[in-house]
Amino acid sequence: MIEVELNQEELLKEFEDKIANEVKIEPRDWMPDEYRNHLIRQISQHAHSEVIGMQPEGNWISRAPSLRSKKILLAKIQDEGGHGLYLYGAAETLGVSRDQFINWLHEGKAKYASVFNYPSLNWADVGAIGWLVDGAAITNQVSLQRTSYGPYARAMVRICKEESFHQRQGYEIMWKMMEGTEDQKRMAQDALNRWWWPALMMFGPHDSESPNTGNAVKWKIKRESNDRLREKFINKTIPQAELIGLKIPDPNLKQIGEEQYAHGDIDWKEFWDVINGNGPCNQQRLEHHIQAHQDGAWVRECANAYHTKSK
Amino acid sequence: MKTKIAYYTEIADNAMVLSHRLAENSSKGPFLEEDLACSNVALDLLGMAESIYEEAAKLKADGSIGDDLAYRGSEWEYRNVLLVEQPNGDFAHLMVRQFFMDVFNYYFLAELTKSKDEFLSAVGVKSLKEVTYHLRRSSEWLVRFGKGTDESAQRAQRAINNLWRFTEELFEASEEDKQLRSEGISVDLNSVHDDWKLKVGEVFYLADLKKPENQFQLNGGKTGKHSECFGYLLAEMQYLTNAFPNAKW
């Protein structure tokens, strides 16, 4: 057998040329360890976010107030779980199994989007989550359709189509409530008040404070900066709020151009508190996932045992 | 017309309540694929319930809409069988309940396609396709449980023993059902019962599972006498419509 020693420098150059020429990196291609590790962290975190994100909206499935709204909500939550599946699939192409990703989540070694650590307290929260949280996610994900890792970019194309649908459905709920009774208007404004800042925090720290941005931008994993994406989101969302009579809960919000706004200071202490496990629902969300996983252990064992016996 | 509306809502209530129980299981599945499959079945049943409630509301012709029939009743006005309202237990319990209903729905809907009522016949055609898939899935799970591990077989047998007492009610015809039989509108439940017993027996045989020794049966759902748990299901489901009766969602 002939052993070929691959020259690391040549491999790195080939990899960097691909990145420079917008050629997607595929699972069998050589890639630097740092690139692989960054993607493992980012894609699995994204997958966990989709799955944990099923919980806050799931809190309202049994109380959805009409057959249509129940159907839309359940289908939406099912879509989020489906996104989790594509993303676990994309992350597995990097050489780590879904079981391992789930173990890391349960051990607290992997994170998920902090926004899902906030509670969903009234029906309008279902609207606000779709409109704001999915809206913020799309702003980020549209740029990720051009990310350099092929399986991730392709998963994003599919996910974006569904997310933009969710965003419209969420906005429709808010719209309906703002056209409804005084109680409904109060619920809608209350939901916006509670979800606005967590949605802005979804884009992460200011660019100057973001430790992972450097390499991620160089390797074209990340195509736009946190602050730029946050700006895009608020410029798009504020006119939508105004159109239906909702007030953005930011006394320092300023209009700085045509459809351009500058937001007041974000409470970064709260941001870091929630990331570090001290949000209102961190413990509850994780325990729910662990409980379901433990309750299902015998089912997975049964399916594996049956599969082995049937071979 | 009143008789027909009652028969329509009987079918819709079964689909709606079972769908509700399945929807409660969202994000609690044993693994992601199965979690999503469960929601899928819930959505099929909810879609079926919605179309029947809407048609029943049209027949009522008093300005009510499908949601009023689904959301505004008191416990004793719902006509679903006791089986579908039974709370979720472990995954074997959920799937055995589903299997009993899938077998019932499969043969019931196959008969419904022959109904002289055009709407019901169309419901039969559309929903039979979906239920054929549901039945395949729940039958396969029963076999997996029975032949997987000792624990899975025990859990499945325990679920069968607990839920068997609610199965005969599926085949007891309500007064409205009997009245519509002569017009060729409602389904002959005796024939569905024969098919149900055969199919359940076949899957139990393949899965090494058994009918329980205790053959005692409970009923009441079809006459509005439900289980204690059903009031809680409705209290949650109707929370917003009760708290804000004038709101439109």
Q: Which domains does chain A have, with CATH numbers?
A: 8-310 (1.20.1260.10)
Full pLDDT tens readout for chain B, 249 residues: 899 999 999 999 999 999 999 999 999 999 999 999 999 999 999 999 999 999 999 999 999 999 999 999 999 999 999 999 999 999 999 999 999 999 999 999 999 999 999 999 999 999 999 999 999 999 999 999 999 999 999 999 999 999 999 999 999 999 999 999 999 999 999 999 999 999 999 999 999 999 999 999 999 999 999 999 999 999 999 999 999 999 999
Considering only CB atoms, which chain B residues are within 8 Å of A55? 27
What values do phi and psi take at A257, rounded to 5? 180, -175
> Per the structure block, which two tokens stand in for B135?
């039945």
Mean per-residue pLDDT, A41-49: 96
- Write down the domain spans for chain B: 2-243
Cβ proximity of B111 and B188 under 8 Å: yes
Question: If you ran DSSP here, which 8-state letter would residue B87 be given?
Answer: P
pLDDT in tens, A151-206: 999 999 999 988 888 999 999 999 999 999 999 999 999 999 999 999 999 999 99
How near does any CA of chain B get to the CA of A76, in Å? Answer: 10
Q: Which residues of A touch B (CB under 8 A)?
A: 51, 54-55, 58, 61-63, 65-71, 74-75, 77-78, 81-82, 84-85, 88, 123, 176, 180-181, 183-184, 288-289, 291-292, 295-303, 305-306, 309
Write down the H helix ranges in chain B.
Answer: 2-24, 32-60, 66-71, 82-85, 91-112, 118-147, 150-163, 175-181, 189-207, 228-237, 239-243
Band of pLDDT at residue A213, cut at 50, 70 and 90: low
Interface predicted TM-score of the whole assembly (ipTM), two decimals? 0.97
Please report the residues numbered 68 through 87 in chain B whose beta carbons come closer than 8 angstroms to any beta carbon of chain A.
70-71
Contacts of B67 by beta carbon, 8 Å cutoff, 6+ apart: A66, A67, A68, B53, B241
| Continuous segment of H or E residues that includes residue A261 | strand A260-262
CA atoms within a 13 Å half-sphere pointing along the CA-CB vector of B71: 28
Class of domain B2-243 as given by CATH? mainly alpha
Distances (CA, A) of B231 to A176, A181, B170: 29, 28, 21
- B-chain residues within 8 Å CB-CB of A63? 236-237, 239-240
Confidence of residue A3 (pLDDT cuts 50, 70, 90): low
Q: In this complex, how many residue pairs, one in chain A and one in chain B, have their CB atoms less than 8 Å apart?
A: 136
H/E run at residue B62 = none
